[in-house]
Amino acid sequence: MATSFCDLPTSITTNILSSLLCFIFLPCVYSVSFQISRFGHDGNILYEGDAVPSVGAIEFNKVNYLCRVGRAIYAERVRLWDSDTGKLSDFSTHFSFIIDTRGATNYGHGLAFFLAPVGFQIPPNSGGGFLGLFNTTTSDSSQNQIIAVEFDSYSNEEWDPPFEHVGINNNSIASVTSTRWNASFHSGDTADTWITYNATTKNLTVFWSYEANPVLQRNSSLSYRIDLMNVLPEWVTIGFSAATGQYGERHTLLS
């Protein structure tokens, strides 16, 4: 069974600001698109846990506290596939963020973009490496119906590779595929991120760049072949989740 420092009685931070652009296309049936360049209290975004809008951004965790969780989700449910026709949608999302490790030797734990069932709540004891999405009971279960892309700045030896990484997670806190990523090396730098899904090829792809004028290369970075219709319900919630654990860091997502 997976364990976490945050299951223990337990103070540091994670905050995230985001310019979010999302398109979801269901051929001949349904499509949704939205662009949010400034976050506030207008009802487009629901804030959970410690997450709050701040000067057009979102701060996810209270500064200088350990084992905190914050989430921000799009207020409307999103149709990912159609049960009558069996059609699955393409989708693409783009967001930008900064992670500041604040010069610390130890920091964590990271943030994730996720898709989950409508009404999915923050699980109890889900701080730290669980990133506000799982806990010791749900860390590896097909009943979760969760797909996530994690920017994991702390390696939990029970389920993570032995390095900081970007990973794609299928119903588990353990990534099904991952690649190295160095949060401290890019501390304070802006990361532009694209996550796309091709319903025909079933490829989920993640691309990120710290360049000033990034060139999107969907055949690079990280990808995983998965039929989302077999994992996720027809209607889903999409959002971001961030957590601190034994250590903390600061995240800022820019518009």
Q: Count other Cβ atoms within 10 Å, centred on residue 201.
A: 11
Q: What is the pLDDT of residues 8-43, one digit of tens each?
A: 443 333 333 344 666 666 554 455 555 777 778 888
Q: How large is the average pLDDT for residues 226-244? A: 95
pLDDT of 180 > 60? The answer is yes
Per-residue pLDDT at 173 exceeds 70: yes
Mention every residue, 6+ apart, whose C-beta is less than 8 A from residue 9. Answer: none
Full DSSP string of 38-72: SB-SSSSEEEEET-EEETBEEE-S-TT-SS-EEEE
Per-residue pLDDT tens digits for 72-99? 899 999 999 999 999 999 999 988 887 8
Distance CA 25, CA 223 (A): 20
219/180 Cα distance (integer angstroms): 16
Q: Which domain holds residue 24?
A: 5-252
Q: Which of 133, 113, 167 is nearest to 6 (CA)?
A: 133
How many structural domains does the chain have?
A: 1
CATH of the domain at 23: 2.60.120.200
Least confident of 19-23, 60-64, 140-144, 227-231: 19-23
Nearest-CA neighbor of 178 among 162, 189, 194?
A: 162
